Structure 1
């Protein structure tokens, strides 16, 4: 199973922002959309960075509440780990674990093509295990 299966189920819509968006505006996007990350893209949908709930806490801790008026350019995470539609669920989970990333943008032909969360990956991994167990029980039962 691959990232493509996750995207087929959940869709490819991603909440994005530009690097000129304020931290406060992105906090509102996170809250209104019940999400944990916003992908920062340029006008061509190329990934420039990511800003997560963790980044909000880090920015306030380091810079104080005044950071809320700063732009993402000043506080976003620019070393964005990404995956492709062909990335397997196991590779995705390994990457998320290795980099301690809860969200990975999906990139296709250099552009943003979706986003997957650790919850998406775990949900699909559990489904695959349940399907395999069902198949084995069915095979044994004859």
Structure 2
């Protein structure tokens, strides 16, 4: 299974925000949308960063509540780990594990086309294992 198959199943909607937003703006979006990360994009949907819940918590721990009025550019990760639609789930799991990343934006031709969370990867892996088990049962029964 590859990233494109996951996106086909879950959809390719991605919550994004512009780089001029504040940390408080992002916290509100994360809370309202019940998500763990927001991709920061420029006007042409090119990825310029990513900011997650733990980045906000870290900023508050380091700078106090005053960081909420700061630009997300001060807090976001600008060196974003990305993947493409043809990447396999196994390769994506390795990337997420090695980089300790819970969210990986998906790019096509340098533009954002989706996002994969660790939950999406786990669900896809479980489905693959269940499918394999069903095929083995059918083979044995049959």
* TM-score, scaled to structure 2: 0.99
Quick one: distance in 1 between partners of 2:37 and 2:61?
18
Corresponding residue number in structure 2 for 1:98: 98
Corresponding residue number in structure 2 for 1:123: 123
The alpha carbon displacement at 1:10 in A equals 1.0
Corresponding residue number in structure 2 for 1:21: 21
Aligned length: 142
Corresponding residue number in structure 2 for 1:114: 114
The alpha carbon displacement at 1:75 in A equals 1.0
Structure 1 residues not aligned, in runs of 5+: none
The alpha carbon displacement at 1:24 in A equals 0.4
Query: For residues 42-62 of structure 1, what are the alpha-carbon distances to aligned partners after superposition, in whole Å with 9 as ceiling and x for unaligned?
Result: 000000000000101111011
* TM-score, scaled to structure 1: 0.99
The alpha carbon displacement at 1:74 in A equals 1.1
Quick one: distance in 1 between partners of 2:9 and 2:141?
31
Runs of 4+ in 1 over 6 A off after TM superposition: none
